[in-house]
Structure 1
Amino acid sequence: MSIKPPADNPPAEPPKAPGLLRSSGVVGVMTMLSRVLGLVRDMVIARYFGAGTAADAFFVAFKIPNFLRRLFAEGAFNQAFVPVLSSYRQQQSLTDVRRLVNAVAGSLGLVLLGVTLIAMLGAPVLTAVFAPGFMGDAEKFSLASDMLRITFPYLLLVSLTAFAGSILNSYDRFAIPAFTPVLLNLTMIAAAVFLSPLMETPVMALAWGVLIAGALQLFFQLPFLMRLGLLPRAKVDYRHEGVKRILTLMAPALFGVSVSQINLLLDTVLASFLQTGSVSWLYYSDRLAELPLGVFGIAIATVILPNLSRKHAAESIDQFTATLDWAVRGVLLIGLPAALALALLAEPLIATLFYYGEVTARDVGMSAQSLRAYSAGLLAFMLIKVLAPGYFARQNTRTPVKIGIIAMVANMAMNLILIFPLAHAGLALATSLSAWLNAGLLWRGLKKEGAWRSQPGWRKFLLQLLVANAALGAIIVYLQAPVDSWLAAGGIQRATDMAILVGAGALVYFVALALAGVRVRHFRLK
């Protein structure tokens, strides 16, 4: 005879958490769908708006709330909230978890509402801060400020979406939060294709698309929170013990987890002083670098944070260090070939995805320069994503702050040094170099604190990676055609040739791994 739980107190715990490899795979597949649609979105934007004044203005208006989203919602807030929520799950009742969720929803929502209203009123000031170079072009500055008033409420909506997604991730419901960004891409594609022809200033359609997408993303996740019995009933309570802990952890986490985003923002600020098109060239190349970072690096980081938080709460030190070691190996397995492919295929990739409509051959070449510079730091960006949770899961935010400040200062210095000889590509290279400094210091700190200990087999694994990546590089160099051939080909031909290159490269890489002795079972971990 079974006893049903009370209707107001449904079980919020899954019977069994999936393995890390399976969970990472689910997040990776959903994120791949989102990123592919994101590239389609950028292809549409490039076709309709190119890399001129309108595109530069929109990218700044979109980057400001998007930057703050990554900094606060998916950065500092997520890294502070998930460990506290996991601690409540492990040590408190479901009623206490609900009270925490309600208090955080009300407190976070009130702050976000205030910030949004102030930002909308002060849009020109924000534009001047984030893109001071636009002040010399009245049309571009005014357009960016007008669009920012429309796009900034996206921060409120998507931050609440990230809050909902953090709850779902903490309960091992990874698929829904990973799928949610698909709605942003679909909405913006629809806005560019169908709404822009109806507007007096066509690019304004993209700003409205961002706002509509924010609302869709939030409401999409609410039914799944309801199924968990954790749909928030917002209550402003800054005295709640859990809210206090989250706020305490958030302040330093702003630097620790989001330094790469701050560095990318500095790129935009400095690029606004360069020739027209520089902001767009950096944006298009950054989007390509973000594809493997989001699909694999962020997927692994998303999965391990709640896992590490629970293991820390349970004082399972050996499992904690084994999980971090697993995450680093996973990043190397995918990050190395991704970085190599981006560097070798920079022009063909940019041409295949963006060489349409208003985009010129010069835009392709310029974007490829910054893509190569970003590819040099791709592995470091991915390592930061999986090493930082090793601190935040233990509610240690001070160490990443110190490391973040060092990396940010180094990035600023390298920006000023490299921007003169390399222009926009120098900004991208400075970001990559500072990312390596950040990742190296994070790794050294974890090792020193005993939170990361290398597991057996590292020397063999690195040799296997070397062999497989050498095979990948050889097949790409052998198969790819000169850049002029890519530019002369039609869109369908470029897409077909790129599919063949990517397919052949992936096949050779994984066959080489298999021949070297790497097996899927080596990466299964609970």
Structure 2
Amino acid sequence: MTLISRLFGFLRDMVLAISFGATGSTDAFFVAFRIPNFLRRLFAEGAFSQAFVPVFAEYREQRGREALTDLLDHTAGALTLTLFIVTAVGMLAAPLLIMVFAPGFVGEENGRQVLAADMLRVTFPYLLFISLTAMAGGILNSVGRFAVPAFTPVFLNLSLIGAALWGAPLFEEPVKALAWGVFIGGAAQLLFQIPFLVRRGLLPRPRLRRAHDGVKKIIRLMLPAIFGSSVVQINLLVDTLIASFLMAGSITWLYFSDRFVELPLALFGVAIATVILPRLSREHAAKTPEAFNNTLDWALRLTLVVAVPAMLGLIWLAGPILASLIQYRDFTAFDTRMAAMSLVAYAAGLPAFMLIKILAPGYFSRQDTRTPVKIGVIAMLANMGLNVAIVVPWVMLGLPGPHAGLALATGISALLNAGLLFRGLYRDGVYRPPPGWRTFIVRIAAAAVVMSVVLWLATPALAAWGDWPALDRVMRLLGLIALGAAAYGATLWVLGVRPGQFLMR
């Protein structure tokens, strides 16, 4: 289901790139979309989910059905009230938020600030819809139902595709149709999950009580987790802020390159983390540390064996991917070159992005949200320092593509974040790598070298791609992906690695 959702996400991005290109107007939309999306990942998928799922698992394991229902009702009530207030304030303060998150727009003659503020008023309610959707998804995930929440984002993708193809001609400023696509997509996602909650008898009936113990515990766990689980998103927002001062199109180039990195991150990193968080929470509640260690070890091995070829594929094929999928009509060859630079930089940090997703549940499942927040603050400050250290000299030297420096800084800070998370789990004895890890890493490295050599020799120069028909581009790209995957997989097979070794038993 995650794969289906991400494929529709790719289709959505192709339609947006081809229909609107990389302009000041698209920069304004992506800022207006990124602000509520950032808050969604911060409060809903990030801090709220990481705090809610362990408490839900605790109530389900140790208390009765009545107590669990009471927890759901009061959590839904508190969440809805809070989100309604935040949404109302966000819509009223839209111009101020644009000044804060995209200060480079202020005072521009092309009016990106006003356009972004107008669209933000439409997109901000998405935060309300999608956060309640995230709660519904957390409930379903906690009872072992993963397919419905994983499929739900398809409705946002379909809504944006419809807005781009059929809604845009109805607006004087066509890009404004995308803002309404976000609004409609958020509502559709929430409505889609309600029947499945009803079927399980877990549909919350929002109620408010200030002294509810379960809600207070979720809030207590959630506050520090806001930083700990969402540092990558904060770093991306900082990138957007700085990119608003760079050449028009920089925000759009960063957006599309980030979206291509998001495919393996969501398909494997987020999907594996979604599966292991309820499992780790149950194993911690049941006091079975050996099972806890085995679950975390399985997730780390599976993540590494996938993250390395995904990283290499995106690095070696960055230009061909962009040229094959979105370099048409308004998205030019120049846009492809610029977006490829940031895609390579983001891809270098992909293993770290994925490991953060896997290691963080090792803390949240034990209701430890303080340690990740400390680590997250360190990584965030490092990212800010790296942004200045990399981008400022880049701009002063007049080198092309300073936006790629922002992506590089994000990847380096993610590596620091993942390293500190792992060190904490190892130091506290929560995770102990079983025997065989050294051999496993050597095999992965050998397969990575073979894959890199094969792709380096087989990939044509980027300049040639734009001259081929669309079908030829896509077929050549698919051939290269298959060749790289075959080289990687065959090398692992020769070295003794088998698919059955990655089954969770």
Q: Please confirm whether the aligned pair reaches a TM-score higher than 0.5, indicating the same fold.
A: yes
Matched position secondary structure for 1:318: helix
In the alignment, which of 37, 45, 52 is matched to residue 16 of structure 2? 45
In the alignment, which of 13, 27, 40 is matched to residue 69 of structure 1? 40
Q: Where in structure 2 are the equivalents of 1:139-154 lying within 5 Å? A: 139-154=111-126
What's 2:167 paired with? 195
Matched, 1:437 2:416: yes
Matched, 1:294 2:273: no
What's 2:405 paired with? 426
Matched position secondary structure for 1:488: coil
Q: Where in structure 2 are the equivalents of 1:79-94 lying within 5 Å? A: 79-94=50-65
Contact 1:324 1:390 in 2 (8 A): yes
Contact 1:103 1:238 in 2 (8 A): no
What's 1:253 paired with? 225
Change (3 A) 1:238 1:356: farther
What's 1:306 paired with? 278
Shift of 1:53: 1.4
State the Cα deviation string for residues 65-124 of structure 1 (Å, max 9, x = none).
Answer: 111111110000000000000011110111111110111001000000000011111110
What's 2:293 paired with? 321
Matched, 1:103 2:74: yes
Matched, 1:116 2:87: yes
Cα separation, 2, equivalents of 1:505 and 1:339? 12
Matched position secondary structure for 2:440: helix
State the Cα deviation string for residues 350-400 of structure 1 (Å, max 9, x = none).
Answer: 111221111121111111111111111110000000000000000001111
Matched position secondary structure for 2:85: helix
Shift of 1:522: 1.2
What's 2:453 paired with? 474
What's 1:229 paired with? 201
Shift of 1:420: 2.1
Cα separation, 2, equivalents of 1:265 and 1:481? 35
Q: Where in structure 2 are the equivalents of 1:248-287 lying within 5 Å? A: 248-287=220-259
What's 1:515 paired with? 494
Matched, 1:463 2:434: no
Cα separation, 2, equivalents of 1:100 and 1:136? 48
What's 1:447 paired with? 426
What's 1:8 paired with? none
Matched position secondary structure for 2:106: helix
Shift of 1:48: 1.2
Shift of 1:475: 2.1
Shift of 1:477: 1.6
Cα separation, 2, equivalents of 1:472 and 1:421? 34
Shift of 1:486: 0.9
Matched, 1:363 2:338: no
In the alignment, which of 482, 486, 490 is matched to residue 469 of structure 2? 490
What's 1:136 paired with? 107
What's 1:220 paired with? 192
State the Cα deviation string for residues 441-480 of structure 1 (Å, max 9, x = none).
Answer: 0000000111111012112211221222222212212221
Question: Quick check: 506-515 or 444-453, which moved more?
Answer: 506-515
Shift of 1:193: 0.3
Letter in structure 2 aligned against 1:120: M
What's 1:181 paired with? 153
What's 1:502 paired with? 481
Contact 1:106 1:235 in 2 (8 A): yes
Structure 1 runs (4+) greater than 6 angstroms displaced: none
Shift of 1:514: 2.0
Matched position secondary structure for 1:456: coil
Cα separation, 2, equivalents of 1:194 and 1:210? 14
Question: Quick check: 130-139 or 204-213, which moved more?
Answer: 130-139
TM-score w.r.t. the length of structure 2 is: 0.97
Change (3 A) 1:344 1:421: farther
Cα separation, 2, equivalents of 1:60 and 1:491? 30
Cα separation, 2, equivalents of 1:351 and 1:367? 10
Shift of 1:496: 1.0
Shift of 1:511: 2.4
Cα separation, 2, equivalents of 1:395 and 1:206? 39
Matched, 1:161 2:100: no
Matched position secondary structure for 2:202: coil
Contact 1:133 1:269 in 2 (8 A): yes
Question: Quick check: 458-467 or 404-413, which moved more?
Answer: 458-467
Letter in structure 2 aligned against 1:321: N
Cα separation, 2, equivalents of 1:342 and 1:421? 26
Letter in structure 2 aligned against 1:400: P
Letter in structure 2 aligned against 1:98: T
State the Cα deviation string for residues 26-68 of structure 1 (Å, max 9, x = none).
Answer: xxxx112111211111111111111101100100000011111
Give the root-mean-square deviation of aligned CA atoms. 1.0
Contact 1:154 1:211 in 2 (8 A): yes
Where do 5+ consecutive residues of structure 2 fail to align? 395-401
Letter in structure 2 aligned against 1:517: G
Letter in structure 1 aligned against 2:367: Q
What's 2:312 paired with? 340
Shift of 1:222: 0.6
Cα separation, 1, equivalents of 2:365 and 2:373? 15
Taking only the aligned residue pairs, the percentage that are identical comes to: 56
State the Cα deviation string for residues 112-141 of structure 1 (Å, max 9, x = none).
Answer: 000001111111011111111000325111
Where do 5+ consecutive residues of structure 1 fail to align? 1-29
Cα separation, 1, equivalents of 2:488 and 2:418? 25
TM-score w.r.t. the length of structure 1 is: 0.93
Aligned residues: 497
Letter in structure 1 aligned against 2:32: A
Letter in structure 1 aligned against 2:68: V
Matched position secondary structure for 2:203: coil
